[in-house]
Protein backbone atom coordinates (compact mmCIF):
# COMPACT_ATOMS: atom_id res chain seq x y z
CA UNK A 1 0.00 0.00 0.00
CA UNK A 2 1.45 3.35 -1.02
CA UNK A 3 1.85 6.09 1.54
CA UNK A 4 -0.65 8.92 1.18
CA UNK A 5 0.76 12.04 -0.41
CA UNK A 6 0.10 15.69 0.31
CA UNK A 7 -1.27 17.80 -2.52
CA UNK A 8 1.62 19.76 -4.06
CA UNK A 9 0.13 23.19 -3.42
CA UNK A 10 -0.56 22.37 0.25
CA UNK A 11 2.93 20.88 0.61
CA UNK A 12 4.46 24.07 -0.82
CA UNK A 13 2.44 26.18 1.65
CA UNK A 14 3.62 24.05 4.56
CA UNK A 15 7.25 24.32 3.43
CA UNK A 16 6.91 28.10 3.06
CA UNK A 17 5.60 28.45 6.62
CA UNK A 18 8.23 26.05 8.00
CA UNK A 19 10.91 28.19 6.36
CA UNK A 20 9.44 31.32 7.99
CA UNK A 21 9.58 29.55 11.38
CA UNK A 22 13.14 28.38 10.64
CA UNK A 23 14.28 31.95 9.98
CA UNK A 24 12.54 33.16 13.12
CA UNK A 25 14.37 30.59 15.24
CA UNK A 26 17.74 31.57 13.75
CA UNK A 27 17.05 35.28 14.26
CA UNK A 28 16.03 34.57 17.85
CA UNK A 29 19.32 32.77 18.46
CA UNK A 30 21.27 35.74 17.12
CA UNK A 31 19.31 38.22 19.23
CA UNK A 32 19.50 36.07 22.38
CA UNK A 33 23.28 35.87 21.98
CA UNK A 34 23.46 39.66 21.57
CA UNK A 35 21.17 40.37 24.53
CA UNK A 36 22.83 37.83 26.83
CA UNK A 37 26.20 39.39 26.04
CA UNK A 38 25.28 43.09 25.92
CA UNK A 39 23.09 43.37 29.02
CA UNK A 40 24.93 44.82 31.99
CA UNK A 41 24.28 45.14 35.70
CA UNK A 42 23.38 42.93 38.62
CA UNK A 43 19.66 42.96 37.72
CA UNK A 44 20.48 41.62 34.25
CA UNK A 45 22.20 38.42 35.39
CA UNK A 46 19.09 36.24 35.67
CA UNK A 47 17.83 37.39 32.27
CA UNK A 48 21.22 36.82 30.66
CA UNK A 49 21.39 33.30 32.08
CA UNK A 50 17.86 32.48 30.96
CA UNK A 51 18.61 33.67 27.42
CA UNK A 52 21.83 31.64 27.34
CA UNK A 53 19.98 28.48 28.35
CA UNK A 54 17.24 29.12 25.75
CA UNK A 55 19.73 29.34 22.85
CA UNK A 56 20.24 25.55 22.54
CA UNK A 57 16.45 25.06 22.60
CA UNK A 58 15.99 27.55 19.77
CA UNK A 59 18.83 25.93 17.80
CA UNK A 60 17.17 22.54 18.28
CA UNK A 61 13.94 23.96 16.91
CA UNK A 62 15.74 25.34 13.84
CA UNK A 63 17.39 21.96 13.25
CA UNK A 64 14.06 20.11 13.54
CA UNK A 65 12.47 22.55 11.11
CA UNK A 66 15.34 22.16 8.64
CA UNK A 67 15.03 18.37 8.72
CA UNK A 68 11.27 18.56 8.19
CA UNK A 69 11.62 21.04 5.31
CA UNK A 70 14.06 18.63 3.68
CA UNK A 71 11.80 15.59 4.22
CA UNK A 72 8.92 17.46 2.58
CA UNK A 73 11.08 18.17 -0.47
CA UNK A 74 12.00 21.75 0.31
CA UNK A 75 15.41 23.38 0.25
CA UNK A 76 16.82 24.91 3.41
CA UNK A 77 17.70 28.48 2.45
CA UNK A 78 21.12 30.04 2.89
CA UNK A 79 21.95 33.29 4.65
CA UNK A 80 21.45 35.52 1.59
CA UNK A 81 17.70 34.87 1.81
CA UNK A 82 17.49 36.07 5.42
CA UNK A 83 15.43 39.14 6.33
CA UNK A 84 15.38 40.29 9.95
CA UNK A 85 11.98 41.02 11.50
CA UNK A 86 12.52 41.17 15.28
CA UNK A 87 12.63 44.95 15.69
CA UNK A 88 11.92 45.02 19.43
CA UNK A 89 14.74 42.60 20.24
CA UNK A 90 17.50 44.71 18.70
CA UNK A 91 20.34 45.78 21.03
CA UNK A 92 19.66 48.97 22.95
CA UNK A 93 22.23 51.70 23.56
CA UNK A 94 21.26 51.40 27.22
CA UNK A 95 22.84 48.08 28.22
CA UNK A 96 20.97 48.19 31.55
CA UNK A 97 17.51 48.32 29.96
CA UNK A 98 16.48 44.85 31.08
CA UNK A 99 12.77 45.56 30.61
CA UNK A 100 13.30 46.38 26.91
CA UNK A 101 15.01 43.02 26.42
CA UNK A 102 12.24 41.21 28.28
CA UNK A 103 9.61 42.92 26.13
CA UNK A 104 11.60 42.03 22.99
CA UNK A 105 11.74 38.39 24.06
CA UNK A 106 8.00 38.40 24.73
CA UNK A 107 7.36 39.80 21.24
CA UNK A 108 9.63 37.19 19.62
CA UNK A 109 8.06 34.32 21.54
CA UNK A 110 4.50 35.54 20.83
CA UNK A 111 5.35 35.78 17.13
CA UNK A 112 6.79 32.24 17.18
CA UNK A 113 3.69 30.89 18.94
CA UNK A 114 1.50 32.55 16.32
CA UNK A 115 3.61 31.08 13.49
CA UNK A 116 3.48 27.56 14.92
CA UNK A 117 -0.26 27.86 15.45
CA UNK A 118 -0.60 28.82 11.78
CA UNK A 119 1.40 25.75 10.72
CA UNK A 120 -0.59 23.45 13.04
CA UNK A 121 -3.83 24.63 11.43
CA UNK A 122 -2.37 24.37 7.92
CA UNK A 123 -1.32 20.75 8.57
CA UNK A 124 -4.57 19.64 10.17
CA UNK A 125 -5.83 16.50 8.48
CA UNK A 126 -3.00 16.65 5.94
CA UNK A 127 0.44 16.29 7.57
CA UNK A 128 0.29 14.90 11.08
CA UNK A 129 4.05 14.57 11.49
CA UNK A 130 4.69 18.26 10.84
CA UNK A 131 1.66 19.15 12.93
CA UNK A 132 2.91 17.10 15.89
CA UNK A 133 6.40 18.60 15.65
CA UNK A 134 4.98 22.14 15.58
CA UNK A 135 2.66 21.47 18.51
CA UNK A 136 5.66 20.35 20.56
CA UNK A 137 7.79 23.33 19.55
CA UNK A 138 4.85 25.68 20.21
CA UNK A 139 4.66 24.26 23.74
CA UNK A 140 8.34 25.10 24.27
CA UNK A 141 7.74 28.64 23.02
CA UNK A 142 4.76 29.01 25.35
CA UNK A 143 6.97 27.99 28.29
CA UNK A 144 9.59 30.60 27.31
CA UNK A 145 6.85 33.20 26.94
CA UNK A 146 5.43 32.41 30.41
CA UNK A 147 8.90 32.62 31.97
CA UNK A 148 9.46 36.09 30.52
CA UNK A 149 5.99 37.28 31.52
CA UNK A 150 7.01 36.42 35.08
CA UNK A 151 10.30 38.28 34.65
CA UNK A 152 8.40 41.31 33.36
CA UNK A 153 6.11 41.29 36.39
CA UNK A 154 9.14 41.20 38.70
CA UNK A 155 11.10 43.89 36.88
CA UNK A 156 8.20 46.29 36.40
CA UNK A 157 6.90 46.02 39.96
CA UNK A 158 9.97 47.70 41.56
CA UNK A 159 9.84 50.51 38.99
CA UNK A 160 6.16 51.12 39.73
CA UNK A 161 6.87 51.18 43.48
CA UNK A 162 9.72 53.67 42.92
CA UNK A 163 7.45 55.88 40.82
CA UNK A 164 4.76 55.83 43.51
CA UNK A 165 7.30 56.85 46.19
CA UNK A 166 8.55 59.81 44.11
CA UNK A 167 5.09 61.29 43.58
pLDDT at position 9 is: 95
**Number of separate domains in the chain:** 1
**Structural domain contains residue 3:** no
**Structural domain contains residue 14:** yes
Range of the domain at 28: 8-166
Whole-angstrom distance, CA of residue 147 vs CA of residue 167: 31
**Structural domain contains residue 111:** yes
Whole-angstrom distance, CA of residue 84 vs CA of residue 24: 8
pLDDT at position 109 is: 97
**Structural domain contains residue 20:** yes
pLDDT at position 161 is: 47
Whole-angstrom distance, CA of residue 105 vs CA of residue 86: 9
Nearest to 121 by CA among 10, 24, 25: 10
**CATH label of the domain that carries residue 85:** 1.20.1260.10
**Structural domain contains residue 128:** yes
Q: Model's pTM, two decimal places?
A: 0.90
Other beta carbons within 10 Å of 112: 23
Amino acid sequence: MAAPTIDTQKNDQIIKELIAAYWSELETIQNYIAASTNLAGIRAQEIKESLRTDIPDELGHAQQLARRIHVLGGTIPGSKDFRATQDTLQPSKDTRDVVAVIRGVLDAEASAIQQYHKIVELCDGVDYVTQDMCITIMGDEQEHHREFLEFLAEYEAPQERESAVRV
